[in-house]
Structure 1
Amino acid sequence: MALDIVIMAAGKGTRMKSAKPKVLHALAGRSLVQHVIDTASSLGADRIVTITGHGADEVEAAIGAPGLHFARQMPQLGTGHALQQAVPHLHDEGTTLVLYGDVPLIEARTLRTLLAASGGDKLAVLTIDLADPTGYGRMVRENGQVIGIVEQKDATPEQRQIREINTGVMAGPTKLMKRWVSQLKNNNAQGEYYLTDVVALAVADGVPVVTAQPGSDTEILGVNSPSQLADLERRYQRRRAEALMEAGVRLADPARFDVRGALVCGAEVEIDVNCIFEGHVELAEGVRIGANCCIRNAVIGANAVIHPYTHIDGEKLGVKVGAGSLIGPFARLRPGAELGEEVHIGNFVEVKNSTLAKGAKANHLAYLGDATVGERVNYGAGSITANYDGANKHRTVIGNDVHVGSNCVLVAPVTLGDGGTIGGGSTIAKDTPPGQLTVARAKQVSLANWKRPVKAKK
């Protein structure tokens, strides 16, 4: 039987105080609605239909998944009206699951439980008991059986005392869902077509209405304001932190830790405070990450140490750090940086699109761009590769065991022969022979009678 999933993502989100459509605001590096789409995709849906409205062009351009379809709701006249727009995209048979683009943390296992409760012939509603149910629709029961849902604004004082609330998430037989939404009326305080009214229609048709519950209230919390978004961000990050700690990762403070993508950790990994991981990051066994590091799209080898305030950003090319390497503090590794084993990159050193072989060192205030660096190279403080001629990038090749003195400029394309030494302060524009000292700097001159300029007195 077909599984269709409908995601409501048409709302404006006025309380967000932003021109950006609400569902495109980011949580842990992904838009709210993309979280929902990714979860929906994991269920093996035959079709996912996202309902757009406010900022529809922007929303549709920003999200994606295999089998994703769009339907527009213009104007927005309620959740029931939104589902009506999806009807032409739904299969004739099977089950339809309704989700919300601003409820990003609902888990796949909860949705599988809800679908199992529906069983293809019942209407299943996800509910939860809240100590303070204010603002939510209440589940109305009679002799324990659900007979309807009443919205907060339409509820009587007695109904407002009910603590079991409707989360809005539901699953039911597609054929019946199509019929029920076609029968919805808007005779309510808001003048909208409520999807929740299908419960009463199901009851009238003799279709059983059953419920399922999420693992926690975090799963069903929506985002309507910046403060709610910040709250969900911390809940999400705490959940990620707890999962990592259960797997053996040592976090100095789980409250000061952010993953905005995928973080894969080996055994005995230690992470200090205020670190941010984005994209896909792998930390091998024994890696230690110092405080206040930002790492994006990188693979860090076993027992490497990333000292505090280091910035690693692989973008699309990625960054690789070899086993036993020491990076930072205050280092920057840019896309295409590939470091071998036991490489040292020190404070205020930047590496871009360069490979450094085993044991190479650049410990202070240096730049290596578009370079191939051999084993055991010592790259002096203040030295740079001048890799850009104003139009094109050129490569610098530094052989094994080369010593580059301080404050050197290597004008690419240039090759430094194995075992050579470059005297401090040199500007090297031609290839250098192996095993020799090369010095290229102006002759030092001292002027005995030279006078330093002084300001004229007023």
Structure 2
Amino acid sequence: MSLNIVVMAAGKGTRMKSSLPKVLHKLAGRSLLKHVLSSTAALQAQARIVITGHGADQVEAAVAGDGIRFVRQEPQLGTGHAIQQAVPALEAGGTTLILSGDTPLISTPTTQAMVQASQGQKLVLLTIHYADPTGYGRIVRDGDAVKAIVEHKDATSEQRLIRECYTGIMAAPTEALKRWVGQLSNQNAQGEYYLTDIVAMAVAEGVPVVAVTTADETEVLGVNSPSQLAHLERRFQRQQAEALMDAGVRLADPARLDLRGTLSCGRDVEIDVNCVFEGTVSLGDGVRIGANCVIRNATIAAGARIHEFTHIDGEAAGASVGEGALIGPFARLRPGAQLGAEVHIGNFVEVKNSTLAKGAKANHLAYLGDATVGERVNYGAGSITANYDGANKHRTTIGADVHVGSNCVLVAPVTLGDGATIGGGSTITKDVAPGQLAVARGRQTVISEWVRPVKKK
């Protein structure tokens, strides 16, 4: 049986007060629309259709791929009008699941339940019970069967006591849906075509109308304003924090965590306040993350300690921290940073596209770019690899047990052999053999009986 998934994403989102189309605003690091599409990926639909309108080019470019088809709704004349535009793209037979691009947290189990309930034979409405249903369309039933959706303004005093409300999400028999939306009228105060009018058509034809009810308000909350987006962000972050704590992660304050991707954790992981995790991050057993860290696309091995205010951004290349390593505070690891076990990276040290072997240390105010660093290297404060000649990048190779003094410049390409020592303040432009001492700096001159100038009165 075929399955169509239609996502309505044509609205302007006036209350967002933004030039960015509403469905492209981000929740937990991903656009609202991408959240919706991700939740339906497991359904293996024969057609996934996104209805665009306002900012169509921008929306389509943002989510193109994975077999998604686009249809445009121009002008936007209501939800029923939107589905009318999608009708030519629907695969024949089966079920069509209709979702909203600004309701981002709809869950996969809920969408699966709706498709299963429809079976290409029934019109299925997703409903929820509200303690205060004011403003929502009420579900009017006759036993288990749904007979109507009555808008709040049109409801009788008795109907307003109904707490079951329509969420705006439905699944319908595809062939019947095509027929129903073709019969919609815009003879109403707004001059729009309302998709909810098909409920009365289904009842009139004797097509069963049933409800799937969710108890989770978060998955049916829409976004129409920056305030609603922020509110939903905090709800979602709290859900993710609860899931981490259920898995054994110690969060200093679950209200001060931002997870904008995927975070996997081993046993006895501790995360302090105000940390942000983006992309794909993995934390091994016993990892401790200090306050105010930002970690993106990184793997951190067991026992490592990431001190406060550290920034790790692996981007596409990724970054990794070995077992028992100590990073920070105020350190920065960039793409391609690959740190071995027990490596120390201290305050205001930056590492990019470099490999540091076990026990290597760069504890203060240093830069390592495009470098291969051996075991137990001590890299002095203020030292840098000069890896860029203005056109190309070059690599620095530092052997095991090398000692690099403070304020040195290693001009790549250059190799320091095992056990070499570089005197502080040196600019090294030639290879240094194993075990040698290299000093490259101006000779110190001392002038006796020198008098410092004084200001004239």
* Pairing 1:186-265 to 2, within 5 Å after superposition: 186-265=186-265
Give the structure 1 partner of residue 385 of structure 2.
385
1:452: how far off?
3.3
Q: Distance in 1 between matches of 2:118 and 2:99?
A: 15
Find the residue that maps to 1:211 and give its secondary structure: strand
Mapped partners of 1:30, 1:151: distance in 2 = 33
Task: State the match for 1:352 in structure 2.
Answer: 352
Letter in 2 for 1:223: V
Residue 172 of structure 1: CA displacement? 1.4
Kindly state the Cα deviation for residue 135 of structure 1 after the two structures are TM-superposed: 2.9
Q: What are the superposed Cα offsets for residues 157-194 of structure 1, whole Å, 9 maximum, x if unpaired?
A: 55444321110111111000110111111222322111
Q: Deviations over 1:380-416 (max 9, x none)?
A: 1111111111111111110110000111111111111
1:404–1:424 CA contact under 8 A, matched in 2 = yes
The answer to whether the 8 Å contact 1:38/1:65 transfers is no
SS at 2:316 equivalent: coil
Answer yes or no: is the 8 Å Cα contact 2:46–2:91 preserved in 1.
no
Partner residue in 2 for 1:400: 400
**Amino-acid identity (%):** 72
Question: Comparing 200-209 with 108-117, which one deviates more in the overlay?
Answer: 108-117
Q: Secondary structure at the match of 1:222?
A: coil
How far did 1:316 drift?
0.9
Which letter maps to 1:128? I
CA distance in 2, matches of 1:407, 1:15: 55
1:242-283 Cα shifts (integer Å, max 9, x gaps): 111111111111111111011111111111111100001111
- Please give the alpha-carbon distance, in whole angstroms, between the structure 2 residues aligned to 1:20 and 1:454: 61
SS in 1 for 2:244: helix
1:276 maps onto 2:255 in alignment: no
1:427 aligns to what? 427
Residue 153 of structure 1: CA displacement? 4.3
Q: Which amino acid aligns with 1:305?
A: R
Question: 3-state SS of the aligned residue for 1:128?
Answer: strand
Cα distance, 1:450 vs. partner? 4.0
Deviation at 1:119? Answer: 2.5
AA aligned opposite 1:294: V
Distance change >3 Å, CA 143–CA 38, structure 1 → 2: closer
Q: Using the alignment, how far apart are the partners of 2:40 and 2:65 within structure 1?
A: 10
Aligned to 1:319: 319
Unaligned runs of 5+ in 2: none
Contact 1:34 1:64 in 2 (8 A): no
Aligned residue runs from structure 1 range 115-154, under 5 A? 115-142=115-142, 145-154=145-154
Question: Superposition RMSD on alpha carbons, in Å?
Answer: 1.3
Letter of the aligned partner of 1:328 in structure 2? G
**How big is the shift at 1:59?**
0.4
The answer (yes or no) to whether the contact 1:140–1:150 under 8 Å persists in 2 is yes
If the length of structure 2 is used for normalisation, what is the TM-score?
A: 0.97
Is residue 2:39 matched to residue 1:29?
Answer: no
Change (3 A) 1:454 1:17: farther
1 CA distance for matches of 2:275 and 2:399?
A: 35
Residues 414-423 or 111-120, more deviating = 111-120
Post-superposition CA distance 1:194-248 (Å, at most 9, x none): 1111110000000111001124111100000111101111111111111111111
Counterpart CA distance in 1 for 2:379 and 2:357 is: 13
Counterpart residue type for residue 204 of structure 2: A
CA distance in 1, matches of 2:70, 2:153: 31
1:72–1:85 Cα contact (<8 Å) kept: yes
1:121: Cα distance to partner? 0.6
User: Letter of the aligned partner of 1:51 in structure 2?
Assistant: I
Question: Partner amino acid for 1:196?
Answer: T
Deviations 1:100-147 (CA, angstroms, capped at 9, x unpaired): 000001101111112222122111100011122233222223455321
Aligned equivalents of 1:327 and 1:215: distance in 2?
43
**Separation (CA, whole Å) in 2 of partners of 1:453 and 1:243:** 68
Show the 5 A alignment for 1:357-372.
357-372=357-372
Indicate the larger mover: 202-211 or 123-132. 123-132
- In the alignment, the residues of structure 2 paired with residue 169 and residue 454 of structure 1 have an alpha-carbon distance, to the nearest angstrom, of 82
Number of aligned positions between the proteins: 457
Shift of the alpha carbon at 1:44?
1.3
The amino acid across from 1:380 in the alignment is: G
**Contact preservation (8 Å) 1:137, 1:166:** yes
Equivalent residues of 1:154, 1:188 under 8 A apart: no
- Residues 202 and 394 (structure 1 numbering): CA distance in 2 closer, same or farther, change over 3 Å? same
Unaligned residue ranges in structure 1 (runs of 5+): none
Give the residue type in structure 2 aligned to 1:347. Answer: N
Provide the residue aligned with 2:7 in structure 1.
7
Partners in 1 of 2:335 and 2:68 — Cα distance? Answer: 32
Counterpart position of 2:42 = 42
Contact 1:327–1:346 (Cα < 8 Å) also in 2: yes
- How many Å separate the matches in 2 of 1:358 and 1:144? 67
How far apart in 2 are the matches of 1:211 and 1:454? 90
Structure 1 residue 449: Cα displacement: 4.9
Structure 2 counterpart of 1:47, one-letter code: A
SS for the counterpart of 2:43 is coil
SS in 2 for 1:38: helix
CA distance in 2, matches of 1:383, 1:158: 78
Cα pair 1:139 1:148 within 8 Å, conserved: yes
Post-superposition CA distance 1:285-330 (Å, at most 9, x none): 1111111110000011111111111000001111011111111111
2:433 is matched by which residue type in structure 1?
A: P
Structure 2 SS opposite 1:298: strand
Conserved 8 A contact 2:357-2:376: yes
Partners of 1:191 and 1:153 in 2: how far apart? 17
Following TM superposition, by how much is the alpha carbon of 1:93 offset from its aligned partner in structure 2, in angstroms? 0.5
> Secondary structure of the residue that 1:42 maps to in structure 2?
helix
8 Å CA contact 1:251–1:271 kept in 2: the answer is yes
For the 8 Å contact 2:129–2:215, the answer to whether it is kept is no
